[in-house]
Each structure stands twice: as structure tokens, then as C-alpha cells.
Amino acid sequence: MNKQVKVRTFSISELAKEFDVTTRTIRFYEQQGLLNPARQGQTRIYSAQDRVRLMLTLRGKRLGFSLAESKELFDMHDSTAQGNEKQLLYMLDILSKKQADMRQQLSDIQRLQEELNIAEVRCQDALSKVRLRDQKKNSDKQQLIQEQRRVG
Amino acid sequence: MNKQVKVRTFSISELAKEFDVTTRTIRFYEQQGLLNPARQGQTRIYSAQDRVRLMLTLRGKRLGFSLAESKELFDMHDSTAQGNEKQLLYMLDILSKKQADMRQQLSDIQRLQEELNIAEVRCQDALSKVRLRDQKKNSDKQQLIQEQRRVG
DNA sequence: ATTATCCTTTACGTAAACGTCAACCTTGAT
DNA sequence: ATCAAGGTTGACGTTTACGTAAAGGATAAT
């Protein structure tokens, strides 16, 4: 039985829209060896796998990975299936380094989050003070007008 | 009483060493308005505050902040002490956006950490399989040698 | 038939964040 | 006195990650 498995594919602009990047960006990632879409004629056809790769690449970017680093991780992930010992050890080394990076970032983020909260409170505080002052200024003015009416 | 307060200061290379950046980097940050060291003649003298700013700038970088963004946050932090309502509202807006960023990053990191762990396990697994195989190969060889001795 | 909509390649341009000289003080040690 | 160690200001070079424009092919609607 020739099982016709339907595979969902994507056009370049579909992916661009979904991930809010330009098509230029996606083509660039391909040029850098991060994506490898099939072709229909000369038009690119992206598989679900390609889509995942794009997702991972973008997440990597948000976490400060260069495209080259992401590519390296992808390549290793692909090759370690049939990797030799040296490859595997190298991969483990990279993985542990990345994990250290992530621990660092995690603590960076937590510290920054606290500081942002503090700044926000400070800011809200200053804001309410400004508003109170302005309110008082207005009520003073109103009072003045009232008195002027009584007098004039 | 003329209280002579001793203030710890730093040279550019001290800071460079401490934070593992080049002096070029530090001067560049000054040029971009992130640092503002005092001068003694023409040599730069960094205060503890300058040092903190450098620290924050570098942490910002690790979290994907551009130098311009960090500068903006510094400037606002400095100015919101006597800021008007519009300034404060703008600052609050930025703060909430940054917080959203950080939440996103936090989840990115947590996901990636899981994936790195999985990859590590997979890799360790592959490694031990490779080693077992090699061990067997060696023991086979040893056995062969033994037999050859017995025969030869 | 032509207009519009996607898609393509090629190629030059650009902003950010430094690196890398060059050419020049200054200052304490030998 | 000189010389090494550290500091300074330009100024041009480099890498990364795309932007932007030019010139054109393929298909679908009007």
C-alpha cells in the first residue's frame, strides 16, 4: 500500500508571519546553514522540522546565541546519533557550558526582575506624589476663584 | 571638621581585569554615555558608582539589552527622582515591557535547560554505548591474541 | 493581456560593538 | 637618562545579522 502521508508544509511568508520575521531573515538563516527547506521548482517548501528549527533559532537568539552557535548545536545534535567518542565528549562539553550560561542568565534575570519591581514601586510612588501636588494646586486655584467671586 | 572621606577608586585596567573586558570596551561605553568617570589630568578615575554602572551594563548585555537601552534605563533612573508625570509614565511603560521580556526569557531558559538536560542524557547514553562496544572490541582482540599464542 | 501577488537571486548598505593600529603623554624604577 | 608600564586620543577595520533595492520568473485573478 502506497501510503500517502499528508505532511503539513509552509511557505516562506507563512513562517515569516507566524514568527514575525522577514523572509530575508529566513533566507539568511538558510544561507548560514540553519535551515534546509525542500524545493518545488525554485520555491522553498518548509517542513514541520524546518519550522521547529526556525523556532529554536529564534529562541536561541533571544537567549543571546549567535547563529553560528545555534548551527553548531543543531549539527552536533544531528551527528551525535552516530557520533564517535570525541564528538560526544565535545558535545557534552558544550552542553555543560551552555548550562552554566543558562544558570548565569537565570540569576541575572531574577536579580533584574527584583530591581525592575523596585524601580516600578519607586516610580509609582513618585507619580502619586506628583499627582497629589497637582491636585492641591488645582484645589487652591478653585478656592481662590471662589473667594474672588465673594469679594468681587 | 573637614571630614576626609576615603573613596575607593579604580583605574581603567583594574575594572577591565575585574570584569574581563578590554579597556577599549570601557572607553567605548563612556563614549556612548554609559559611564562618566572623573579625570585626574587626563587619566580616568572610576568611582564605585561607575563600577556598578559597568556591572549593570554588562549584565544588561548578557540579557540582550543594547547599550542604548541600558543607557536609557540609567538616564531615566537618574531623572525620575525629579521627573514629571509624563516621564514617570514613560518609565513605567518601559519597565513593564522589560518585565514582559524577562518573563519570556525566563520561560525560554527553563525550556532550554530541560532540553539541554535531555540532550546530555542522550549523549551520555551514546557515549557509554560507544565505550562498551570498544571494550568488547578490545577484549575480542585480547582473546584472539591469547588463542594465537596457544596455537602459534 | 495585463495586473497583482508571491517567489527567486544577486548585491550593495548598515548599525552595533567593539578590535586594532598609530602616535603620543607621564611616571616611577634602574 | 632611559626605558618599561600604563594611560590618552583619533581613526580605520571587522563581524554579525540582517535591510533594501534591482531585476526577474511563475501563477492566478480580472
B89-104: per-residue pLDDT in tens?
A: 888 888 889 999 999 9
Find the mean pLDDT for residues A123-140: 83
> In this complex, is the C-beta atom of B136 within 8 Å of any C-beta atom belonging to chain A?
no
Contacts of B80 (CB under 8 A, 6+ apart): A122, A123, A126, B87, B88, B91
Cβ of residue B19 near strand C, that is under 7 Å? no
pLDDT over 70 at B151, yes or no: no
Query: For residues A6 and A80, what is the distance between their CA atoms, to the nearest angstrom?
Result: 29
- Predicted pLDDT of residue B31: 97
- Predicted pLDDT of residue A111: 93
Query: For residues A60 and A69, what is the distance between their CA atoms, to the nearest angstrom?
Result: 9
Q: Which DSSP letter does residue B151 get? A: H
> In this complex, is the C-beta atom of B104 within 8 Å of any C-beta atom belonging to chain A?
yes
Distance B51 CA to C30 C1' (A): 35
CA distances from B38 to B20, B26, B72 (A): 22, 14, 21
> In this complex, is the C-beta atom of B27 within 8 Å of any C-beta atom belonging to chain A?
no
Nearest to B88 among A81, A96, A130 (CB): A130
Query: For residues B128 and B151, what is the distance between their CA atoms, to the nearest angstrom?
Result: 34
| pLDDT per residue as tens digits for the range A8-66 | 999 999 999 999 999 999 999 999 999 999 999 999 999 999 999 999 999 999 999 99
Cell of B101: 521580556
B4: left (phi over 0), alpha (psi -120 to 50) or beta: beta
Q: Are A64 and A102 in contact (CB under 8 A)?
A: no
Distance B14 CA to C28 C1' (A): 19
How far A40 CA sits from the closest chain B CA (Å)?
Answer: 33
CA distances from B73 to A120, B38, B66, B92, B95 (A): 12, 22, 11, 11, 9
Could you give the count of Cα atoms lying within 13 Å of A80 in the half-sphere of its Cβ? 26
| pLDDT per residue as tens digits for the range B16-37 | 999 999 999 999 999 999 999 9
Task: Tell me the H-state helices in chain B.
Answer: 12-19, 23-31, 48-62, 67-79, 85-151
Find the mean pLDDT for residues B46-57: 96
Q: Are B80 and B88 in contact (CB under 8 A)?
A: yes
In B, which residues are within 8 Å of A105 by CB distance? 62-63, 105, 109
Q: The cell 589630568 sits on which residue?
A: B41
Categorize the per-residue pLDDT at B114 as very low, low, confident or very high, splitting at 50, 70 and 90: very high
C-beta atoms of B92 and A120 within 8 A: yes
In A, which residues are within 8 Å of B57 by CB distance? none
Query: For residues A152 and A140, what is the distance between their CA atoms, to the nearest angstrom?
Result: 18
Q: Name which of A75-84, A108-117, A119-128, B37-46 the model is least confident about.
A: A75-84
> In this complex, is the C-beta atom of B92 within 8 Å of any C-beta atom belonging to chain A?
yes
Mutate to test the interface with A, among B90, B127, B128, B134 (most CBs of A within 10 A): B127
Q: Are B47 and B15 in contact (CB under 8 A)?
A: no
For residue B38, the SS3 value is: strand
Find the mean pLDDT for residues B28-52: 96
What is the pTM assigned to this prediction? 0.84
- Predicted pLDDT of residue A4: 66
Contacts of B36 (CB under 8 A, 6+ apart): B30, B50
Name the residue with higher pLDDT: A138 or B36. Answer: B36
Which amino acid, one-letter code, is at B118?
I
Cβ of residue B25 near strand D, that is under 7 Å? no
Q: The cell 570584569 sits on which residue?
A: B19
Cβ of residue B35 near strand D, that is under 7 Å? no
- Predicted pLDDT of residue B105: 92
- Predicted pLDDT of residue A85: 85
Categorize the per-residue pLDDT at B3 as very low, low, confident or very high, splitting at 50, 70 and 90: low
Distance A119 CA to D13 C1' (A): 40
> In this complex, is the C-beta atom of B89 within 8 Å of any C-beta atom belonging to chain A?
yes
Find the mean pLDDT for residues A98-109: 92
